[in-house]
Amino acid sequence: MQTTQVIVMTGCASGIGRHLTKALAGAYRIVATDVNVSGLEQCARDDAWPMESVKTLKLDVRNAGEWEETLRVALAHFGRVDVLMNVAGYLKPGFGHEVDASEVDKHLDINTKGLIHGCRVVGRHFAAQKSGHVINVGSLASLAPAPGLCLYVASKFAVRGFTLAIAQELSPFNVHVSLVMPDAVQTPMLDLQVDYAEAAMTFSGGRALTVQDLERVFIEEVLPHRPLEVTIPMTRGLIARLANLMPATVVTLGPAFTTQGKKKQASIKALRDGK
């Protein structure tokens, strides 16, 4: 059964955003955005997004003006906006002393500044209407620093700090804020890490989460109950929180997790390559 609520979602041409658009389109009206317009339109065709409940729109999250236009179009098309879901993200493995300067900008511009622009523009609208729900997708890397992913970690640590701060700022306006922090999810972002030795720790857990795992958490927990923070899965989340509380444990235990990750990463690569 469809509600009257409207979601503005980023990163809908791939991975988590694409799946959530399809999964939620029957219950919500969605403004599905992405910088990749052709990819977005292809997803709409391939996944048969219902035209009456999904409006596709080009949005480069790094562009503050495009955020203003996205809000304007969403209000003109559906008449309201109730939920902002910042899903868009970027990751390229690399060690901090070796990464190119352009990668510093790309990680922070997309993962951090793009999300902040969205919260700023849509958050202002929510505060004025005295209701709304901001959902930011972070990562367990928002809690535990993973070597080889330092730029991604930096961007996601910043996302957590910003999210917790605006949760307090928007609370008096009856606006709820949630941060969803998943472990590695089986998406193109995970696929690309298989070929980077620097990303070994990504593979140190159990099975990778699926987009269906995230769908269940969003539908059963995040959207109806609007928690401040959610880690997925809970067990890895507890380990990440321990690392956050006791940073020295990362230095002590990190090499063991990296070694474990290297073995699994090699197995995944061998299976993929048919070896």
Q: Are the CB atoms for 4 and 80 separated by under 8 Å?
A: yes
120 part of a folded domain: yes
What mean pLDDT do residues 92-108 have? 97
Query: Is the pLDDT confidence value at 254 over 90?
Result: no
pLDDT beyond 80 at 31? yes
The residue segments making up the domain with residue 93 are 6-190+207-245
How high is the mean pLDDT of the chain? 95
Catalytic positions, written as ranges? 152
Does the residue 254 lie in any domain?
Answer: no
Q: What is the pLDDT of residue 1?
A: 55
In the beta sheet, which residues pair with residue 84? 8, 134
Task: Count the helix, strand and coil residues of the chain and give each as a percent rounded to the nearest 5.
Answer: 55, 15, 30
Strands 175-182 and 54-58 come out as: unpaired
Residues 6+ apart with CB under 8 A from 60: 35, 66, 114
Nearest-5° angle of CA 136, CA 139, CA 140?
Answer: 140
Q: Look at residue 163 and tell me if it is in a domain.
A: yes
Which residues are bridge partners to 230 per DSSP? 180
Residue 221, domain CATH: 3.40.50.720
Report the C-alpha gap between 76 and 55 in whole angstroms: 11
* 135/140 Cα distance (integer angstroms): 15
Cα distance between residue 255 and residue 126, in whole Å: 44
Give counts: helices (H), strands (E), the chain.
Answer: 11, 7
Residues facing 136 on adjacent strands: 86, 179
**Quick one: pLDDT band at residue 93, thresholds 50, 70, 90?**
very high
- pLDDT per residue over 198-226, tens digit each? 999 999 988 899 999 999 999 999 999 99
Q: Which residues contact 273 (CB under 8 A, 6 or more apart)?
A: none
Is residue 95 a part of any domain in this protein? yes
pLDDT of 2 above 70 = no
As a whole number of Å, the end-to-end CA separation of the chain is 47
Q: Please give the pLDDT value at position 141.
A: 95
The pTM (predicted TM-score) of the whole model is 0.95
pLDDT at 126: 98
Residue with tokens 């997790």: 257
* Residue 94, strand partner residues: 149
Instruction: Give a yes or no: residue 13 inside a domain.
Output: yes
Peptide linkage before 233 cis (omega within 30 of 0):
yes
pLDDT at 257 over 90: no
Task: Examine residue 195 and state whether it is found in any structural domain, yes or no.
Answer: no
In a domain, 134, yes or no: yes
Position 199 in a domain: no
CB 64 within 8 A of CB 117: yes
Q: Tens digits of per-residue pLDDT, 53-62? A: 999 999 999 9
User: Considering only 45-49, 189-193, 224-228, 236-240, which range has the smallest mean pLDDT?
Assistant: 236-240
Which positions ≥6 away from 200 have C-beta within 8 Å?
A: 148, 258, 259, 261, 262, 265
What average pLDDT does the segment 26-40 reach? 97
Q: Work out how many domains the chain is built from and give that number.
A: 1
The pLDDT of residue 262: 93
